[in-house]
Amino acid sequence: MLRPLACLFFALATPAWAAPPRHVASINLCADQYLVALADPAQISGLTRLSHMPDMSPIAAKAARFPAIGSSAEALLAHQPELLLTGWPGQADAARRAGLKAQILVVPPANSYQDIVAQVRLVARAVGHPERGEALIQRMDHALAAIPKRGGGRVAADYQRRGYLSGSGTLMDEMMRRVGLVNLATKLHRPALSNLSLEDMVAARPDFLITGGKPARDLGSAMLAHPAIANIPRLYLPGQFADCGGPAYPRAIRTLSDQLRQKR
Residue 199 has pLDDT above 50, yes or no: yes
Residue 217: per-residue pLDDT: 65
The Cα 35–Cα 235 span in angstroms is 30
**Could you report the per-residue pLDDT of 39-51, keeping only the tens digit for each?**
999 999 999 999 9
The Cα 123–Cα 172 span in angstroms is 23
Q: Provide mean pLDDT across the span 101-129.
A: 95
Task: Please report which residue ranges of the chain form alpha helices under DSSP H.
Answer: 29-38, 60-63, 73-79, 93-97, 113-126, 130-145, 171-178, 184-187, 198-204, 219-222, 239-242, 249-261
For the chain, list the domains and their CATH numbers. 24-144 (3.40.50.1980), 155-261 (3.40.50.1980)
Percentage of the chain modeled with pLDDT above 70: 90
Tell me how far CA of residue 217 lies from CA of 44, 213, 221, 223, in angstroms: 35, 12, 7, 11
User: What is the radius of gyration, based on Cα positions, of the chain?
Assistant: 19
Residue 214: per-residue pLDDT: 66
The Cα 193–Cα 6 span in angstroms is 9
Query: Do the bridges between strand 234-236 and strand 83-86 make them parallel or antiparallel, or are there none, so unpaired?
Result: unpaired
Higher pLDDT, 242 or 185: 185
Q: Provide mean pLDDT across the span 167-188.
A: 95
Higher pLDDT, 224 or 107: 107
Q: Are 25 and 92 in contact (CB under 8 A)?
A: no
pTM, 2 dp? 0.88
**Could you report the per-residue pLDDT of 80-90, keeping only the tens digit for each?**
999 999 999 88
Residue 8: per-residue pLDDT: 36
